[in-house]
Structure formats: structure tokens, C-alpha cells
Amino acid sequence: MQARNGIRWRIVWILFGSTAINYINRQTFSLLAPVISSELHFSHEDLSRVFGAFQLTYAWTWLFGGLLLDLIGARIGLALAVIWWSIASMVTGLAHSVASFSLFRSLLGIGEGLNWPGASKVVAEWFPARERGLAVAIFDSGSSIGAAIAALTIPILALAVGWRHAFVFSGILGIPWLVLWWINYRPHQPDQAANQQPFAVAIRRLWRDRNAWGIVFGRSLTDPMWWFYVFWLPQYLSDARGFSLKQIAAFAWIPFVAADLGNFTGGWISGLLIRRGIPVIRARKWICVVTCAPMLAGIPAVLVHNPYAALLLICVALWGYAAWSTMGLTFPSDLFHSNVVGTVTGISGFAAGMMGTAVTLIVGRLVDKFSYLPAFVFASMLPMLATIAVLALIRDIAPTPGRST
């Protein structure tokens, strides 16, 4: 048992690594957008098309990737995903127009969309409910750490060797991870009873399940806020606050560290509440309620005159988002049979990605025609609706085979 505990925590830290590398690749374009848009004369609407191209394929991969991972397993699925997105990232350095950037970023989205359904599936198979929140927090915190590492390194690298080579650097990071994953991970074999529910039957039931809809609406209305900051923060700091590429490298990583703290805050406190006897779903919901309010800090962030006060408020907003998001990623494994967790996660990710694509395109137009203010207000208000959806739709269910407690 002790050996198994060690293996599962080692696996979740390897998943942290894939998530961090995923975000370094993803953030490379966002961080270089001020330089690329200046050199190639891209408008904010042009940038939104490039961002949207990534999100569109990313969303569809969450949907079909969840199905694929439930069928072929996480070991092969995640290995193929990292190979794909590493190549896509490297060839982005060849892009020279909105169309070519959109093409290469859409290819990146296909590979990166497999990471979260795969990691969620692994956590559902290996961890009981009382530890699941922390396990999700660990692997999901890779997104914040990866974004922070990218903000610290990619602008400096671009200044040293050129922005095209920065995409190659991001891409090669997946190679050592692949070796580590293939050596260490073997699928955990659940109890025989865990596979008693036919897969096709389970899929049909999802469409009539209020918990599935609660997860879908919850993620669809929170993830666009994250996408807003991931894609637009460097450009906002350049446009509205006058930051140079060096200043972006010096400061743009800080909000993502705050998000990382939010991941662990949500996972740790929900686990603590569960250990003290509060039902699992009630504990998760409490975290969602408490952490939705800090996400409103994005509104005063765009209004204050001091850029460092703005960064502090953005830190508060991303801390709240990350704590909430950890609960959103944990709900599928809390509520559903392990053989459909990847699918539930994939469906919710697809819906969130499609909503995020729409919001990204809207933001580009808002900024070009008005300013960043309506974009910040719009992104900050959506999570309030997400929390209402979670409270209204999600209900706990009796333990069944395949759901760890």
C-alpha cells in the first residue's frame, strides 16, 4: 500500500510537468504577441483570430479526446499528445501571417486538448475522494507555474535569439517529459466492479444528468476568464500600461504564481473540510462560493492608475479563479464512474473551449473599437453565473462501484 501511495504521487507530479510544459508552449505566442503584432502589423482583432484558432481545435479535442482516452488509456494518449503539440509549437516559428499563425496554433490546440482529460482520468483511477482535490490541484497548478516560467523566460529568450527561435525552445521541452512518462506510468487496474457499467449506456445517461450539465455550465462560464488573462495580459500590459518586453518578463509571471496558490488553496481546504466530516460535494461547493467573489477584482484592476496596483488586483482575481477551477476539475471524478470521467471532463472542456473562443473574438473587437474596460468587466462577471449554475444543478449521489470515496 505504501509503495502504491508513492507511485500515485509520483505520477501526479509527472502530470504537473506535462501541464507546465503545455502552458509554456501555449503562452509563447501570447508573450511574444506585442513584438509579433508590431513587426507583422497585426491588429487586436487579428490576434483574437489567432487565439481563437487555438481555442477552437483545443475545444474539439477536449470532446473527442475524452472519448479517445477512455478507450485507449492515458499512457498512450498523453504520449501522443505531447509529441503532437511539441512539433506544432516548433513549426510555429515558421509563421509569417495571420493565416499561418492560425494554422499552427490550431494544430497546437489539437495536441494540448488531451492533457486535462487524460490527467483527470489518471487521478480518478488512482486517488480516493479525500485526496482527489489535492491531486487535481497539483497537476493543474502546472498551468500557473508553466505560464509563470514562460513569462520569465520567453521574452528574454526572444530578445537574445529572436522570437522565432523561442517557439523551438518551447517545443523541445516535451522530449524529456516523454521519457519520464513512459518509464514511470502504467495504468492502474481498478476493481473488476468498476467496469460493470457499459460505456455506451453511461454516455447516453450523461445527456440526462443534471450533474453533467452543472459541470458543463460551471466550466463554460469560468474558463473564459482564465483564457482572457492567459491570452491578453501581456498585450494589455504593453498597450495600456506601456510595459516593454523586459518589463513583461519581469512582472507578467506574478499573477500566475497567485493562481498557483489558488490551486493549492482550493484543493487543500476542500480536503480539510472533507476530513472533518463535511460531505464531498458540499465541501467543493463551499470553495466555489467563497472564491467567486475575488474574481471580480479584475474590474477595479483596469480602473486604477497605478500599474502595480492593477497587477495586484489581477493576482487576486486569478487566485480566486484557480481555487474555483480546481473544484470544477474535481467534480467529474467525484460524481461519475471512472470509466467515463475522461468523457465528462472532455465534454465540459469542449463547452468551455467554445465559450472561450467566442469570448476571445469578442474581446479583440471590444479592444479595437472601445477599450480594455468592457473586456475586463465581461470576463470578471461570467464566473458569478458559473457559481449559480453549480449550486442549482449539482447534487451529490450515492457511492457506486468505480467512484472512490
Lowest mean pLDDT among 5-19, 114-128, 184-198: 184-198
Three cell numbers, residue 361? 473574438
Nearest 10 degrees: CA dihedral of 296, 25, 60, 41?
80
Contacts of 204-212 with C-beta under 8 Å, sequence gap 24+, read 206/336, 206/340, 206/343, 206/344, 206/347, 210/393, 210/394, 210/395, 211/331, 211/335, 211/336, 211/393, 211/394, 211/395, 211/397, 212/336, 212/344, 212/347, 212/348
Structural domains present in the chain: 2-185+199-393 (1.20.1250.20)
Helix (H) or strand (E) holding 125: helix 115-126
Q: Identify the pLDDT of residue 198.
A: 54
Question: Which residue has better confidence, 76 or 132?
Answer: 76
List the one residue out of 131, 268, 185, 253 whose CA is nearest residue 15. 185
Q: Identify the pLDDT of residue 293.
A: 93
Q: Identify the pLDDT of residue 203.
A: 66
Is 50 exceeded by the pLDDT of residue 401? no
- The answer to whether 108 and 85 are in contact (CB under 8 A) is yes
Three cell numbers, residue 251? 512582472
Q: Is 162 left (phi over 0), alpha (psi -120 to 50) or beta?
A: left
Percent residues over pLDDT 90 in the chain: 47
Distance CA 114, CA 15 (A): 12
Q: For residue 209, give the 3-state DSSP assignment.
A: coil
Q: What is the mean pLDDT of the chain?
A: 86
Quick one: average pLDDT of 317-341?
Answer: 85
Quick one: average pLDDT of 132-142?
Answer: 82
Quick one: average pLDDT of 280-292?
Answer: 92
- pLDDT tens sequence across 32-79: 999 999 899 998 889 989 988 998 999 888 878 777 877 788 888 899
Greatest mean pLDDT among 69-73, 212-216, 340-344 lies in 212-216
List the one residue out of 162, 219, 209 whose CA is nearest residue 355. 219
Greatest mean pLDDT among 172-176, 204-208, 249-253, 369-373 lies in 172-176
- pLDDT tens sequence across 239-251: 899 998 889 888 8
- pLDDT tens sequence across 225-234: 998 998 889 9
Band (119; pLDDT cuts 50, 70, 90): confident
Lowest mean pLDDT among 38-42, 191-195, 377-381: 191-195
List the one residue out of 169, 175, 177, 161 whose CA is nearest residue 28. 169
Residue-wise DSSP of 249-280: HHHTTHHHHHHHHHHHHHHHHHHHHHHTT--H
Lowest mean pLDDT among 85-99, 332-346, 369-383: 332-346
Quick one: average pLDDT of 133-152?
Answer: 85
